[in-house]
Amino acid sequence: DEAGKGNYPHFMLKEIFEQPRTVKRTLDVYTHPAHQTLGLPRAAADQINLADVSSIYMVSCGTAHYATRVSEYWFEQLAGVPSKTDIASEFRYRRPALAKNSIAVFVSQSGETADTLAALRYCKEQGIKTVAIVNVQTSTIAREADVVLPTYAGPEIGVASTKAFTAQLVVLLAFAVAIAEAQGHLDEAEVAALSNDILTVNSAIEKALSLDDVIKKEVIHFEQAADAFYLGRGVYYPLALEGALKLKEISYIHAEGFASGELKHGPIALITAKTPVVFIAPFDDLFEKSLSNLQEVAARSGPVLLLSDEKGIAHAGSAPTRSIALPNTPEIIMPIVQTVALQLLAYHAAVALGTDVDQPRNLAKSVTVE
């Protein structure tokens, strides 16, 4: 029963636990049944004319914006296509100049966000192809866009977006793979290998969810904190922004995300024994750099929670105060696995503080006015 709470105390927790299913259901639509490779449904691929896309603008708000920020790395690294993301309320009034043969992608759970809709209308006036990634297929944004790429997260009731975010991520990933293939940036074998890795994501999410009790204990990290910081590099930088947003939305702890490399340009001035820092740093090419940032925080008595994978935790030694070891997974799906831990961390922190998790103060599920 997708519309009820089932046995869960909150919709948010139920929606977090639905993710193996909602991500798989979404991925299935973007997987070629015979080849088991990712891509877009034929009609959408033809309409977008993937081979000719020169650049991508992505416009959205809130959590959907952070999904696009993660995918920027995929469009650039997998497909070699320049991409730019913007917040809809900025984009619509900046009247941006749009490059020829570019496309504009609007990501929205509800498909009704006023600023995102206005940005879509602006792009249509400019005559560029518009693509909507929406969870509600009957929504205004879905109706007005040239092409719709649905997410199949099912109804999301909790105000803090969880399963819609991971569904957006997998559609964006399929989109990046489709462009990469159409433009010859990845060959057939590379697409097959990458798809194979991506299709393990639901079992990786299951494993992350099985760590719920371990993650719950780590909320002690935020005990009595007025401020908390989230740091990450590369694709984990936008995830740090999303992790901080999740925490502030439902626990009301002031939280900010930063790029780890920017630490020394300002945020480090804020570090004290009372500012918990979450480092999102799986074991990848940038791990050593993140570890040295982590040590800089620890040297200033900042309590550090390292969110990593088993390999990363083993390499970090005693540097972090606390740590969460997510299962080792293929690198491409790790951001989605880390997301689950960030969601659970925010959820349990909010429950510990006794806030109204599903209906946080002052927030609305869908913002249909400016």
The set of catalytic residues is 365
> In sequence order, what DSSP letters do the residues of 5-33 get, joined into one string?
-TT-SSHHHHHHHTHHHHHHHHHHHTB-T
Minimum distance of ligand G6P from residue 318's CB (angstroms): 37
Minimum distance of ligand G6P from residue 366's CB (angstroms): 5
Q: Given the structure tokens 């109804």, which residue do they identify?
A: 155
Span near ligand G6P by CB under 6 A; candidates 109-117, 187-195, 259-267, 327-335: 109-117
The CA-atom distances, in angstroms, between 296 and each of 78, 283, 301 are: 32, 18, 9
Interface with ligand G6P, residue 159, by CB under 6 A: yes
Interface with ligand G6P, residue 228, by CB under 6 A: no
Alpha helix stretches (DSSP H) within the chain: 11-17, 19-29, 42-48, 62-77, 88-94, 114-125, 140-144, 163-182, 188-198, 201-209, 212-217, 236-251, 287-299, 310-316, 334-353
Span near ligand G6P by CB under 6 A; candidates 40-48, 57-65, 144-152, 184-192: 57-65
Minimum distance of ligand G6P from residue 157's CB (angstroms): 11
61 vs 198 by CB, closer to ligand G6P: 61
Pairing of strands 129-134, 83-87: unpaired
Interface with ligand G6P, residue 260, by CB under 6 A: no
C-alpha to C-alpha distance for 166 and 154, rounded to whole angstroms: 12
C-alpha to C-alpha distance for 247 and 240, rounded to whole angstroms: 11
C-alpha to C-alpha distance for 232 and 8, rounded to whole angstroms: 31
Interface with ligand G6P, residue 113, by CB under 6 A: yes
Interface with ligand G6P, residue 108, by CB under 6 A: yes
C-alpha to C-alpha distance for 98 and 104, rounded to whole angstroms: 9
Fill in the amino acid letter for 341.
Answer: A
Interface with ligand G6P, residue 271, by CB under 6 A: no
Phi, psi of 203 (to 5 degrees): -70, -30
Interface with ligand G6P, residue 67, by CB under 6 A: no
Span near ligand G6P by CB under 6 A; candidates 4-12, 92-100, 104-112, 285-293: 104-112
Interface with ligand G6P, residue 150, by CB under 6 A: no
Pairing of strands 227-232, 254-259: parallel
Span near ligand G6P by CB under 6 A; candidates 15-23, 56-64, 227-235, 279-287: 56-64
Minimum distance of ligand G6P from residue 110's CB (angstroms): 3
C-alpha to C-alpha distance for 197 and 195, rounded to whole angstroms: 5
Minimum distance of ligand G6P from residue 248's CB (angstroms): 12
39 vs 158 by CB, closer to ligand G6P: 158
Q: Given the structure tokens 């192809």, which residue do they identify?
A: 129
C-alpha to C-alpha distance for 271 and 180, rounded to whole angstroms: 41
Span near ligand G6P by CB under 6 A; candidates 12-20, 43-51, 256-264, 361-369: 361-369
Interface with ligand G6P, residue 63, by CB under 6 A: yes
Interface with ligand G6P, residue 366, by CB under 6 A: yes
Q: How many residues does the chain have?
A: 370
> In sequence order, what DSSP letters do the residues of 262-298 get, joined into one string?
GGGGTGGGG--TT--EEEE--SSTTHHHHHHHHHHHH
Interface with ligand G6P, residue 140, by CB under 6 A: no
Interface with ligand G6P, residue 238, by CB under 6 A: no
Which of 31, 110, 290, 293 is the binder for ligand G6P (CB under 6 A)?
110
Interface with ligand G6P, residue 367, by CB under 6 A: yes
Which of 102, 116, 251, 338 is the binder for ligand G6P (CB under 6 A)?
116
Interface with ligand G6P, residue 64, by CB under 6 A: yes
Contact yes or no for 133/105 (Cβ under 8 A):
yes
Span near ligand G6P by CB under 6 A; candidates 5-13, 79-87, 235-243, 359-367: 359-367
Question: Which residue in the shown chain puts its C-beta closest to ligand G6P?
Answer: 62
Interface with ligand G6P, residue 61, by CB under 6 A: yes
For ligand G6P, the binding residues (CB under 6 A) are 61-64, 108-110, 113, 116, 159, 161, 363, 365-367
